[in-house]
Amino acid sequence: MPSIAELLPSAMHSLQTAEAAECTSPRLEAELLLALALKRDRLFVRMYPEHVPDDGELSIFTALLARRCQGEPMAYLLGEKEFYGRPFRVRKGVLIPRPETELIVDTVLESAELAGKKTVRFCDLGAGTGCIGLTLQLECPHWQGVLVERAPVPLAVCAENRKALGAERALVLQADLALAPLGDASLDLVVSNPPYIDEADPEVQAGVRAHEPHEALFAARHGLADLASCMATAARLLVPGGLLVLEHGAQQGEIVRTMLAQQNFFKILTKKDLAGLDRVSLGVYKGRRT
The conformational region for residue 245 under phi > 0 = left, psi -120 to 50 = alpha, else beta, is: beta
d(CA 281, CA 271): 6
User: Across residues 265-274, what is the average pLDDT?
Assistant: 97
| pLDDT (0 to 100) of residue 1 | 85
d(CA 54, CA 64): 15
pLDDT band at 270 (very low <50, low <70, confident <90, very high): very high
pLDDT band at 290 (very low <50, low <70, confident <90, very high): low
| pLDDT (0 to 100) of residue 82 | 97
| pLDDT (0 to 100) of residue 174 | 96
| pLDDT (0 to 100) of residue 180 | 87
User: Across residues 195-216, what is the average pLDDT?
Assistant: 91
Domains, the chain, in order of start with CATH, read 4-71 (1.10.8), 83-285 (3.40.50.150)
Nearest one of 246, 213, 236 to 124, comparing CA atoms: 246
Angle at 233 between CA 246 and CA 217, to 5 degrees: 50
| pLDDT (0 to 100) of residue 166 | 97
Mean pLDDT of the chain: 96
| pLDDT (0 to 100) of residue 205 | 86
Q: How many residues does the chain have?
A: 290
Q: What is the pTM of this model?
A: 0.94
118-140 residue pLDDT tens: 899 999 999 999 999 999 999 99
Instruction: Count CB neighbours of 260 within 10 A.
Output: 26
71-110 residue pLDDT tens: 999 999 999 999 999 999 999 999 999 999 999 999 999 9
